[in-house]
Chains A and B, each alone.
Chain A
Amino acid sequence: MNFNKIYALGLRHLYLIMNSFPRVLDLIYWPTVQIFLWGFISKFFTINSDYYSDTVGVILTAAILYDFLFRASISFNMMFLEEIWSRNFTNLFIAPIRIREIIASLTLTAIIRTLIGLVPAVLIAIPLFGVSVLKLGIPLIFLLIALYLFGITLGLLVTSGLLRYGPSFENIAWASLFFLAPLGCIYYPIEILPNSLQIVAKSLPLVHIFEEMRSILMNNSVSYINIFKSIMISVIYFIFGILVFYFSYFGAKKRGTLINMGE
């Protein structure tokens, strides 16, 4: 791995953000709207539901964590799509940067994009709704790692689709997370799902992450075994995502789609 090259590609995306104030606003706008929306829903449930009565902000914390996953994945996809939209794709793929360095750079830069969007929203939630994700304590770090890895994995799978099917796969990029959300048990416990779907849901890291989040906030109990399990599942998916990406890259070379990838 050459860190200068990883930095160079990251810099390309940072310049893109820094050169455009509307782009920064766009990054911040959606997470903030989400926080407001879920903040008020959360407040309503807290007042009217026994289940959440002792734990103000469970839903809002879930919304924040889910948005972190969503932003990580979308950031990864967006950076890849930027290369297609700007017709820079060929230049990038003939530059002496290895595929693993491209993946590493997009993975590391996605965290910056994600945080630009999410940190203001998280800070707004503290005075406005009295909810802070920091209440999760040290486990928060591990939950974020698991979420981030899974978000990047979804990004890898979508970009693999872009390599395989071209820009027409773009719509799937936006739909991918909504497809998994019902199985992620973000706002409700896994028992709500039918038995057959529970089996599928358990194979995703999301269930373990959000169950653990609820357990910490509602019962004050931390299970590092569950957290470790969620990280391990995310790592397995991440490795799978990398393999799929490589497979798609070599497939794209065979089909010749790398040379004329554009809008």
Chain B
Amino acid sequence: MFIEIKNLTKKYNKFLAVNNINFFIQKNKTIGLLGPNGCGKTTTIGMILGLVTPTSGEITIENKNISTFKRDEILNRFNFASPYVELPKKLTVRQNLEIYGRLYGIKNLNERIDEISEDLNIKNFFDRKTGELSSGQKNRVSLAKSLINKPEVLLLDEPTASLDPDIGDFVRSYIQDYKSRNKVTILLASHNMSEVERLCDSVIMMREGKIIDEGTCSDLIKKHGRNNLEETFLKLARSKNEFQ
């Protein structure tokens, strides 16, 4: 599934959260969405997920405007994970996966839950309440929920934020491995530059609602004469008016 963002703008009263952005997400590629806090990443993801109505512009999926799809028709093919969005804390891991499996209309749900739990190593706390888990465990459960429907498009908002290096590496390796085994287009918003370098085919840099640069990680590093993506990010984030 490929996605095209055309002249997308979101204005909250007088505040311009997203300012006329254009980009293209190729089928089965991983795109990184980078930028300082408040640059419009989450609003952009919200618009793609249908949670936020754009002020103007359009989002097309395989050349069809997203607003022409029925809500469930499009959301069946998408999924999303973020450490800032949790699953019901008082429900066990198994119950949460069962409920979301049913909401996504998964056939052979028990098999799918078994498969994904095995993959993400969450079986040993399957019957514990989600609220009692560590942030690393919660994160893996959240990832399991986001993959339960084998989404064609996966949106990840800082998937390894607040994780220790070991669990963070496990999650990154898992995403890498999952992508090699499945056809999935990923849009990854992250502040972890090494993660972006490792996972993304190309990146989009945003600042103050605008796209200020885009390209592959190596191209951007080279173009801005820096040693790595982190230095490139800092240069772009701090050079206020250079790219406007």
Contacts and interface: CB of A to CB of B under 8 A. Distances in A.
Interface of A: 2, 4-5, 7-9, 11-12, 15-16, 19-20, 82-83, 86-91, 93-99, 250, 253-256, 258-260, 262
Contacts of B90: 16, 19-20, 86
B91 A16 contact: yes
Contacts of A4: 102, 105
A89 B50 CA distance: 14
Interface residues of B, number: 42
A94 B78 contact: yes
Interface stretch (B29-37, B79-87, B177-185, B216-224): B79-87
B126 interface: no
Main secondary structure of the interface of A (DSSP, over half): helix
- Counting chain A CB atoms within 10 Å of each CB, the highest count among B45, B52, B99 belongs to B99
Interface of B: 10, 12, 17, 42-43, 45-46, 49-53, 70-76, 78-80, 82, 84-92, 95, 98-100, 102-105, 129, 145
A96 B51 contact: no
Contacts of B129: 19
B86 A256 contact: no
16 contacts: A8-B99, A9-B99, A11-B98, A11-B99, A15-B92, A86-B86, A89-B85, A91-B85, A93-B51, A94-B49, A94-B75, A96-B71, A96-B72, A98-B71, A254-B52, A256-B12
Q: Top 3 nearest A-B pairs by Cβ distance? A: A8-B102, A96-B72, A96-B75
A208 B120 CA distance: 58
Given A86-B86, A86-B88, A94-B79, A5 B51 contact: no
A87 to B, nearest CB: 4
A87 B91 CA distance: 13
A12 B45 CA distance: 26
A94 B80 contact: yes
Given A88-B85, A95-B100, A96-B71, A253 B53 contact: yes
